[in-house]
Amino acid sequence: MRRKIVAGNWKMNGSRDLAKSLVGSVRSGISDLDNGAEVVIIPPALYVRDVVELAGASVSVGVQNVGQWLSGAYTGEISAGMARDMGCEFALVGHSERRQLFGETDESVAAKVEHLLSSGLTAVVCVGETLAERESGKAESVVAAQVRSGLAKVGHDRWQQVVVAYEPVWAIGTGKTATAGDAQAMHGWIRNQLAELGAPAEDVSLLYGGSVKADNAAALFAEPDIDGGLIGGASLKAEDFVSICRAVPASI
């Protein structure tokens, strides 16, 4: 059975005061959540410890990025093992901003995924196309290449630690959102790619990310291959984030 997940990516936002108030409000808001959704908060690395201490049993914590190495002379990097040691259970890999701004490649994504799985973390592997790629008819081939390359090193016994997040680049932080039908079509395509990789495709959770808000979450999450969301800006507002968590149907 697929996991239902709503993960809030704070990106480079926050403070200790924000962490205290926001995590507390989210915990209170989901205290009676009964739809089976896993709620995850992914703060900047400097605030992971604060969020772990505040999260309690009802909220899981992740990191936004890890290095592609186990350890060594890589100033500024953190390893998958370090993230696990700090209490994280999830890690983003291959977010479009990492790909576009920091040159992250499918090969480095694959290396990071391998280390994350070995460390016992769940890897949230982000894939998605730009507007130019979609308009030129390349969206499916671009996403397929990202899925196949990024997950190439996943062993047959590790798929339960893999989550794929489809985030059309043109819909991140722009206010534009793929229609529920468009998002479902790509999620179905991703599931087909997973099956061709030999994964238990029907058991891998697929999340949609790209300007998900309280007023469109229910329509997106109602689609059969969308198992939750990777939430950006709306995760910084407790009321909005809680509403999105509540939009996950009791059965997907």
Q: What is the pLDDT of residue 53?
A: 97
Catalytic residue among 95, 104, 129, 133: 95
User: Global pTM?
Assistant: 0.95
Q: Which residues pair with 5 in a beta bridge?
A: 38, 228
Active site residue 187: no
Question: Over the stretch 99-152, which tens digit does the pLDDT of each residue have?
Answer: 999 999 999 999 999 999 999 999 999 999 998 899 899 999 999 999 999 999
Q: What is the pLDDT of residue 171?
A: 78
Q: What is the pLDDT of residue 142?
A: 96
Q: What is the pLDDT of residue 251?
A: 66
Active site residue 95: yes
Q: Which residues of the chain register pLDDT less than 70?
A: 251-252
Catalytic residue among 38, 129, 133, 167: 167
Q: What is the pLDDT of residue 210?
A: 86
Q: What would the 3-class secondary structure string for the chain be?
A: CCCCEEEEECCCCCCHHHHHHHHHHHHHHCCCCCCCCEEEEECCHHHHHHHHHHHHHHEEEEECCCCCCCCCCCCCCCCHHHHHHCCCCEEEECCHHHHHHHCCCHHHHHHHHHHHHHCCCEEEEEECCCHHHHHCCCHHHHHHHHHHHHCCCCCCCCHHHEEEEECCHHHCCCCCCCCHHHHHHHHHHHHHHHHHCCCCHHHCEEEECCCCCCCCHHHHHCCCCCCEEEECHHHHCHHHHHHHHHCCCCCC
User: Which domains are delineated in the chain?
Assistant: 5-246 (3.20.20.70)
